[in-house]
Structure formats: C-alpha cells, structure tokens
Chain A
Amino acid sequence: MTTLTAKDKQTVKAFWAKVSGKSEDIGADAVARMLVVYPQTKIYFSHWPDQSPNSPAARKHGITVMMGVGDAVTKMDDLKEGLKELSQLHAFTLRVDPGNFKILSHNILVVMAVMFPTDFTPDVHVSLDKFLAAVSLALSEKYR
C-alpha cells in the first residue's frame, strides 16, 4: 500500500512545486480543520492557552507540520531513514497515537481540494495519499 512508484514520486514532486508557496496556509487550514472536525485531537494541545482552530499556536503548528511534509518530499527515496529523528520525537516525546496521522493526512487532502481544485486531480490525489501514508508509516517506525 505504501510503496511509492516512480510515477507517484514524480507526481508528488510536481504538485508540491506548484503548491509549496502556500504551504503555511495549507498547514494552518489542515490543523484548524482537524481540531474542528475531529475534536478528540485537541487532547494533544491541552498545553495551549488558546485551543481554538485559528489561534496563533494552531497556525504555528500547521506551519511546522507542513515544513515536515516539505522536508519529506526531499527525502522520499528513503523516508524511514530521512524521518528517523522525527519518528523518535513522535514516539518518545509526543506519543501521538498513529491513528491521528491518517486524520491529519485526510485534512491536508481536503485543503488541497479547497485551494487547488483543478490541480488536485484523482491521479494527484492517489499519489499524494500514498505519499502521506508512507510519511505516516515512517513517523510510526520507532514507536515499538
């Protein structure tokens, strides 16, 4: 399910080149949607004074997440190795249940549809979905 073909990699790189200029807005919107549509995810942010979806902390977190995604695009030939440290962070410090990676990935895809309706074709969708699943898997690598 998560082996990226040459076509997947090409498609993701090309799409990312088009959209990365907006990566901060993409990340902020994806995190905001996650907090609204899947309120159980708020438990990971109980340390934020303001847990509302459009708070500065939420926006900043969205930016952080998308920087990670952008970094993963450059490392897609070996995500396990490339995301090793991020996996350690998520496994031992953050301890985010990996089910939530799917949730955030879904919301990233929704934002892509909202912001890039013509470019986010079914072919781009399938490759990006596979890529985000591969990133999620790499992030879960160190969990147990």
Chain B
Amino acid sequence: MPENSVSADLQTGSDKMVEWTDFERDTIKDIFSRIEYDVVGPAALARCLVVYPWTQRYFSGFGNLYNAAAIKGNPMVSKHGTTIMHGLDRAVKNLDDIENTYTELSVLHSEKLHVDPDNFKLLADCLTIVVAAQLGKEFTGEVQAAFQKFLAVVVSSLGRQYH
C-alpha cells in the first residue's frame, strides 16, 4: 500500500468554510504571481512521476516515461503540468469557495480519470518541493505552512465528489 504523504489532512466538513488569515491569502497569491506556470507545473508533474512511479499508471498514453530524463523531456508531461497549474489558479482566484469551484474537476477525476485521491497528496508534495526550490530562502516555514494549507484544501476538494 503506498504510504500517504504528509500534506496536512483537513478536518473541514462540507458546510464549514475554510478560514484564511490575511497572511495566508497574501502569501498564496504572491507565490502564484511569482512562479511560472509552464516551468513549475511540468517540473512538479515530472518529479511526481519519478518519485512515485506508480502514478505513471494514469499516463499510459503519454509515450516515453522510461526514466527521469525521458519524463522531463516529454512534451505531453510538460503540457499536462501547465494544465494542472491553471487548474490551481482557479482555486487561488476563489479561495473562499474552492470546494464548489472544484465540483466538476472532482467528478472528472473520479468518474472519468479514475485517479486514486491519495495520489493528489503525492503531487501536492512534489509541488511544494518545486516551489521551495524556486523561492529558496523566501520559502520560510510560515510561507510553507500557508502553501501546504492551500494544497490541503485543494486536495480535499478534489476528493469531495468521489463515492
């Protein structure tokens, strides 16, 4: 059984709003305004496919995923990585209602793509690592906490429509 990642698990039920401090809002928006989606997205997805190779099961149509170099150079991986970042962008723009914003995406991942929701946490962890590498020392503990909280809400919302 793959072990779960350590993104913070949320206790929020569907009728409890996530509360964001001003610091958290500002930090999340700041991070997403500074990172390049077509750099960070591809890097995070490629890292996920290398570090957690069972996630390759969802990308059997992507061609050569044989090793890290092939994954990094794979244009379908890059394109999909960028797509993921634009999906996250929607959550950034709707921080107070991520759950409803992601209803259709959740249904898509469950009903059509059949993605094990545990895998969302794995990608979230890889995204944290890539953003940490981009921001360096500016990725302080407090910034990390805000970013991981955001990703935990995203992960929870994406898993919401599974049944």
Which A residues lie at the B interface, using CB under 8 A?
A: 1, 32-33, 35-38, 53, 102-103, 106, 109-110, 113-114, 117, 120-123, 125-126, 129, 133
For the complex, would chain A's binding face be called helix, strand, loop or mixed by DSSP majority? helix
In the complex, which of the residues A33, A102, A123 contacts B141, with contact meaning CB atoms closer than 8 Å?
A: A33
CB < 8 Å A-B pair total: 63
Binds A, one of B2-10, B23-31, B78-86, B98-106: B2-10
Decide: B144 and A33 in contact? CB cutoff 8 A.
yes
In the complex, which of the residues A1, A53, A129 contacts B51, with contact meaning CB atoms closer than 8 Å?
A: A129
Question: Can you name the residue of chain A whose Cβ is closest to the Cβ of B51?
Answer: A126
Are A114 and B47 CB-contacts (below 8 A) given A37-B145, A38-B8, A106-B125? no
24 contacts between A and B (CB under 8 A): A33-B141, A33-B144, A36-B141, A36-B145, A37-B8, A37-B144, A37-B145, A37-B148, A38-B8, A106-B125, A110-B128, A110-B132, A114-B132, A114-B135, A114-B136, A114-B137, A114-B139, A117-B133, A117-B134, A122-B50, A125-B51, A126-B50, A126-B51, A133-B3
Q: Mark B133-154, 1 if CB is under 8 A from A, else 0.
A: 1111101011011001000000
With a CB–CB cut-off of 8 A, which chain A residues contact B125? 106
B142 smallest CB distance to A (angstroms): 6
With a CB–CB cut-off of 8 A, which chain A residues contact B141? 32-33, 35-37, 53
In the complex, which of the residues A35, A37, A38, A120 contacts B133, with contact meaning CB atoms closer than 8 Å?
A: A120
